């Protein structure tokens, strides 16, 4: 058994009186795609923010490559360079072109020479299919394109782990596919990924492991098949049933279409 | 005679412009520092900056100008021109601080979060991500403050600095033509303010970020 690339031990976050999550133990192995699902307000997003130290935690530890990054005085900026993050609202730098968005971390943080940074940034844009949009500003891009640039920006830093915080929740339905496609390709390339999403189709097809969180606890985790077809807990079954009922119709239609074209 | 009067006024205009060119950037420097401290500093610094703003904006500029002038010229040996210009800059700094604070808030914490997520330090994020956007947003309201400082530069007249207004007053007294003298001063101020506003409008359009393909 190899050591996990990322691990949390009894991670706890409290806002005032409100416990966001408690005693979270999560292990992510190299090349693994883990999808975290669960109702809104159960601390999934906060968990991601704690993992790359954007939000402080109140208890427990986080390990990256075996090093405790929650140790006092640990180089937080260095940690964030190794953990890429993609946000629900894209959060591109509005005053920079797509290319400069991807480049700025390389030139300012990694201090790469400009030419080298440009080449790498262009390659990352190619990877998400947006090399032809390099000179466009965020205001000139669709939501799906912005999110793909955001993915390229995170990838450019050569992170050990990528965190996705509901990356398609703010997108028009017709733009969701292009972003999920890029993510599926990343998973296929064995990028280590931790994804919070409500896209059950993506979870079922791409995830190596699904973690179901509710009220600040991990209720159940397992392979997609185990969780979708043989959930151990009633709550998991209930949640999945509700979500599948909501999206099931859409998926059935898509499957039917696929069957017809195949 | 006429050419003498003309050159007399031109010299006054040059002093008015010089006072403005010292006061505005000086106020911008302090204002920017205070705005950053207020937005990103800790609780203590935040209070200090807020108190500074409250105090400075709660007193008429002319009163502040006198107080600052006597503090500055009492502690260091400065000419009325320099002491007056710097004082005017300090008065303006509180207003510029509020403009920049608003702009920093408009850029928002999310951009800071995104910058930190790429691995930037707070300082790098402010320098490369926050400020370039905030300064763009600040140009239109700053244009208004620039014209206010230009007009308020007439206050240093009270300190004996021979800028436009003081010269107009002298001309009015010697020529017995107050309407002509003050009218000329008003016209010069108007043209200067007009030019400043137009120039900054142009800068604002030029630096505007494209939104449509």
HEC per residue, A180-213? HHHHHHHHHCCCCEEEECCCHHHHHHHCCEEEEE
Spatial contact of A156 and A121, defined as CB atoms under 8 Å apart: yes
pLDDT at A261 over 60: no
Angle between helices B178-206 and B2-40 (to 10 degrees): 40
Mean pLDDT over A83-99 rounds to 96
Question: Any idea what DSSP says for residue A11?
Answer: E
Q: Do A109 and B119 touch (CB under 8 A)?
A: yes
A&B contacts, CB < 8 Å = 72
Classify A109 as helix, strand or coil: helix
d(CA A177, CA A189): 18
Distance between alpha carbon A254 and the CA centroid of its chain, in Å? 25
Spatial contact of A201 and A247, defined as CB atoms under 8 Å apart: yes
Contacts of B35 (CB under 8 A, 6+ apart): B49, B96, B97, B98, B100, B101, B104
A162, β-bridge pairs: A84, A193
* CA torsion through residues A213, A216, A218, A219, sign: negative
User: Beta strand pairing status for A59-64 and A67-68?
Assistant: antiparallel
Q: Do A154 and B118 touch (CB under 8 A)?
A: yes
Q: Do B118 and A153 touch (CB under 8 A)?
A: yes
Whole-number pLDDT of residue A126? 96
Measured between beta carbons, which residues in chain B are less than 8 angstroms from residue A85? Answer: 117
Whole-number pLDDT of residue B8? 85
Question: For chain A, how many helices (H) and strands (E)?
Answer: 9, 10
The residue behind tokens 């206050």 is B155
Whole-number pLDDT of residue B29? 97
Strand order in the sheet with A59-64: A18-28, A6-15, A59-64, A67-68
Q: Do A54 and B113 touch (CB under 8 A)?
A: yes
pLDDT tens, chain B, 213 aa long: 667 777 888 899 999 999 999 999 999 999 999 999 999 998 999 999 999 999 999 999 899 889 988 888 888 888 889 989 999 999 999 999 999 999 999 998 999 999 999 999 999 999 999 999 999 999 999 999 999 999 999 999 998 889 999 999 999 899 898 998 899 899 999 999 999 999 999 999 999 998 875
CA distance B80 to chain A (A): 42
Count of Cβ atoms closer than 10 Å to residue B47 Cβ: 12
Whole-number pLDDT of residue B191? 96
Q: Do A137 and B210 touch (CB under 8 A)?
A: yes
Whole-number pLDDT of residue A159? 96
pLDDT top residue among B10 and A159: A159
d(CA A231, CA B154): 79
Q: Do B133 and A137 touch (CB under 8 A)?
A: no
User: Residues 93-152, chain A: which have Cβ within 8 Å of B?
Assistant: 93-95, 104-105, 108-110, 136-137, 139-140
Mean pLDDT over A9-17 rounds to 93
pLDDT at A156 over 90: yes
Count of Cβ atoms closer than 10 Å to residue B195 Cβ: 12
- Its ipTM equals 0.89
The residue behind tokens 């008429």 is B60
Measured in residues, chain A has a length of 262
Report the Cα–Cα distance between both ends of chain B, in Å, rounded.
60
Question: For chain B, how many helices (H) and strands (E)?
Answer: 9, 0
Q: Tell me the pLDDT band of A262, cut-offs 50, 70 and 90.
A: very low
């Amino acid at each position: 058994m190899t050591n996990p690339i990322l691990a949390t031990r009894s991670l706890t976050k409290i806002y005032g009186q409100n416990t966001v999550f408690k005693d979270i133990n999560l292990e992510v192995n190299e090349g693994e795609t883990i999808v975290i699902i669960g109702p809104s307000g159960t601390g999934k997003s906060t968990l991601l923010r704690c993992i790359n130290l954007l939000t402080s935690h109140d208890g427990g530890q986080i390990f990256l490559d075996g090093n405790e990054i929650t140790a006092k005085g640990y180089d937080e900026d260095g940690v964030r360079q190794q953990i890429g993050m993609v946000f629900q609202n894209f959060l591109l730098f509005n005053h920079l072109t797509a290319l400069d968005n991807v480049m700025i971390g390389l030139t300012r943080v990694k201090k790469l020479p400009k030419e080298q940074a440009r080449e790498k940034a262009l390659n990352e844009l190619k990877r998400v299919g947006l090399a032809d949009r390099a000179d466009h500003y965020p205001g000139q891009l669709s939501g799906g394109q912005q999110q793909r640039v955001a993915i390229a920006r995170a990838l450019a830093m050569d992170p050990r782990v990528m965190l996705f915080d509901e990356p398609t929740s703010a997108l028009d339905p017709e733009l969701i596919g292009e972003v999920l496609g890029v993510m599926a390709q990343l998973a296929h390339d064995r990028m280590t990924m931790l994804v919070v999403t409500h896209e059950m189709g993506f979870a079922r097809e791409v995830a190596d492991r699904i973690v179901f969180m509710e009220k600040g606890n991990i209720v159940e985790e397992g392979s997609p098949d185990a969780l979708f077809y043989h959930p151990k807990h009633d709550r998991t079954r209930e949640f999945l049933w509700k979500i599948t009922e909501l999206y099931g119709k859409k998926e059935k239609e898509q499957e039917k279409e696929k069957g017809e074209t195949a | 005679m006429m050419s003498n009067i003309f050159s007399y006024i031109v010299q006054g205009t040059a002093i008015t412009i010089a006072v403005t060119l010292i006061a505005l950037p000086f106020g911008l420097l302090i204002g920017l520092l205070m705005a950053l401290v207020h937005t990103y500093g800790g609780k203590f610094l935040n209070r200090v900056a807020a108190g500074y703003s409250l105090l400075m904006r709660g007193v008429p500029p002319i009163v502040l100008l006198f107080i600052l002038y006597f503090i500055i010229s009492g502690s260091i040996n400065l000419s009325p021109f320099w002491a007056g210009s710097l004082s005017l800059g300090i008065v303006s700094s509180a207003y510029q601080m509020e403009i920049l604070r608003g702009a920093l808030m408009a850029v928002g914490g999310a951009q800071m979060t995104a910058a930190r997520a790429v691995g930037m330090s707070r300082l790098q994020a402010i320098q490369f991500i926050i400020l370039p956007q905030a300064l763009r947003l600040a140009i239109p309201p700053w244009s208004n403050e620039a014209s206010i400082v230009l007009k308020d530069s007439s206050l240093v007249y009270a300190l004996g600095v021979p800028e436009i207004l003081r010269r107009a007053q002298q001309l009015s007294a010697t020529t017995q033509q107050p309407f002509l003298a003050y009218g000329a001063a008003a016209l010069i101020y108007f043209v200067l303010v007009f030019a400043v506003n137009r120039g900054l409008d142009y800068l604002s359009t030029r630096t505007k970020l494209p939104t449509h393909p």
